[in-house]
Amino acid sequence: MREGSALEVLLTFLKLGVTSFGGPVAHLGYFREEIVVRRHWIEDAAYSDLVALCQFLPGPASSQVGFALGLIRAGYLGGLAAWVGFTLPSAVLMVAFAFGAGAISGPAGAGLLHGLKLVAVAVVAQAVWGMARTLCPDRQRAVIAALVLALIVWGDTWRLQLVAIGVGGALGWWLCRTPLATTLGTLGVPVSRGVGFLSLSMFFGLLIGLPLLASMSSLKGVALFDAFYRSGALVFGGGHVVLPLLRDAVVTPGWVSESAFLAGYGAAQAIPGPLFTFSAYLGAVVAPQPNGIDGAALALVGIFLPGILILIGTLPFWDTFRSRIGAQAAMRGVNAAVVGLLGAALYNPVWTSSVHNSVDVGLVVIGFVLLIYWRTPPIAIVVLGAVGGALLSSLTS
């Protein structure tokens, strides 16, 4: 493998950023086709190692894989270029929606936004279905997921979500200790242990220090950055699983209304790139300043930074850690707990805030069936939901 330039990485991932529809799993497929098969930047086995690592860590898995690929190709500047290229297109689109959503008015506009919220119900239901089949294939993990779901529905706070992840890991360590059948490879990303320790120290230092700084400071920007950093640091599974954490971060304190939150989440299904760029929309529409472009930038950096820090911090130690049976078992429990978290989010706020009558139920079921059994692209479901909601609202008014 020859060394590349940061500009080459930026252009490659900018292309991926405008064409990668379909969510994290689809993104990993696009990456493999472009980076492994077409460009031969790394071997297939090394790519599988990267995917395994990023699925293990908190944060947006596809963005972490992209950063690592840029790191391999062109060093730390290449990692930054990969993140910018993959993230920027969808972030710009979400900020544009944030500025344009306020101009949507009247019955048709209200119906369009309601249709987007119903799309969010169908998409999250699809995510729960797919993750449950993959991450809860046996009775032990199904029980862990069910217990976490019940716990979160009972008391929905970010602290309880963190407890649920810990409980899932502990139960997995106890109940899911069957060794992996596959042979583990070696991850060859050159990051020193010193850099790894520094990065982990920054990750935990910001996680602990930002809430303290926010409580002592009157600066709203610190509180905003802390809210999104905490969401990015505590979410396992990436993608849709960040929904309950973001809701707790911005809806619970009254920064963003439930309706605006779910409308933006529905719109996020129509764009390429990482779903975490939903944070740019939220940062733009939050009630306290900074908002707009400044708020979007703070939210965007805040939610992605912890995933990158913990990725760099884990790289030097990953091969040793993942060979331990106890670590494998704990992560199976954590993954099952993630399914429970997303299932709880599907009930509240996604379902309870969006589905109000039998017509809404029917539209959600149609969207779910199209996604699961007809393999309809999410962007098509977004268009159908938005247009259908606008038409129904106009007719009934």
Which percentage of the chain shows pLDDT scores above 90?
Answer: 33
What's the confidence (pLDDT) of residue 51? 72
Q: Which residue has the higher pLDDT, 331 or 384?
A: 384
What's the confidence (pLDDT) of residue 30? 77
Full-model pTM: 0.75
Token pair for 280: 């740019």
Q: What is the pLDDT of residues 136-145, one digit of tens each?
A: 889 999 999 9
Q: How many other CB atoms are found less than 10 A from the CB of residue 332? A: 27
What's the confidence (pLDDT) of residue 292? 92
Max CA-CA distance within the chain? 64
For the cut 60, the answer to whether the pLDDT of residue 1 exceeds it is no
Convert 85-99 to b/e letters by CB count within 10 Å (16 or more is b).
Answer: bbbbbbbbbbbebbe
Answer whether residue 327 is part of any domain.
yes
Low-confidence winner among 6-15, 104-113, 220-229, 241-250 (lowest mean pLDDT): 104-113
Only one residue has tokens 């699961």, namely 372
CA atoms within a 13 Å half-sphere pointing along the CA-CB vector of 58:
24
- What's the Cα-to-Cα distance from 45 to each of 51, 93, 185, 188, 379, rounded to whole Å? 10, 34, 7, 10, 32
Answer whether residue 146 is part of any domain.
yes
Answer whether residue 29 is part of any domain.
yes
For the cut 60, the answer to whether the pLDDT of residue 181 exceeds it is no
Q: What is the pLDDT of residues 224-272, one digit of tens each?
A: 999 999 999 988 766 667 888 888 889 988 999 888 888 888 888 778 8
**Residue 376 banded pLDDT, cuts 50, 70, 90:** confident
For the cut 70, the answer to whether the pLDDT of residue 182 exceeds it is no
Q: What is the pLDDT of residues 18-51, one digit of tens each?
A: 877 666 766 777 788 888 888 888 877 677 667 7
How many separate domains does the chain show?
Answer: 1
Max mean pLDDT range (5-19, 93-107, 266-280, 326-340): 5-19
Q: What is the pLDDT of residues 295-332, one digit of tens each?
A: 999 999 999 999 999 999 998 887 777 677 887 788 78
User: Domain span at residue 37?
Assistant: 6-396
Which percentage of the chain shows pLDDT scores above 70?
Answer: 90
Answer whether residue 1 is part of any domain.
no
In whole numbers, what is the pLDDT of the chain averaged over residues?
84
Q: How many other CB atoms are found less than 10 A from the CB of residue 77? A: 15
Measured in residues, the chain has a length of 397
Low-confidence winner among 41-55, 84-98, 133-147 (lowest mean pLDDT): 41-55
* 4, 74 contact by CB (below 8 A): yes
**Residue 93 banded pLDDT, cuts 50, 70, 90:** very high
What is the 3 state secondary structure string of the chain? CCCCCHHHHHHHHHHHHHHCCCCHHHHHHHHHHHHHHHCCCCCHHHHHHHHHHHHHCECCHHHHHHHHHHHHHHHHHHHHHHHHHHHHHHHHHHHHHHHHHCCCCHHHHHHHHHHHHHHHHHHHHHHHHHHHHHHCCCHHHHHHHHHHHHHHHHCCCHHHHHHHHHHHHHHHHHHCCCCCCCCCCCCCCCCCHHHHHHHHHHHHHHHHHHHHHHHHCCCHHHHHHHHHHHHHHHCECCHHHHHHHHHHHHCCCCCCCHHHHHHHHHHHCCCCCCHHHHHHHHHHHCCCCCCHHHHHHHHHHHHHHHHHHHHHHHHHHHHHHHCCHHHHHHHHHHHHHHHHHHHHHHHHHHHHHHCCCHHHHHHHHHHHHHHHCCCCCHHHHHHHHHHHHHHHHHHHC
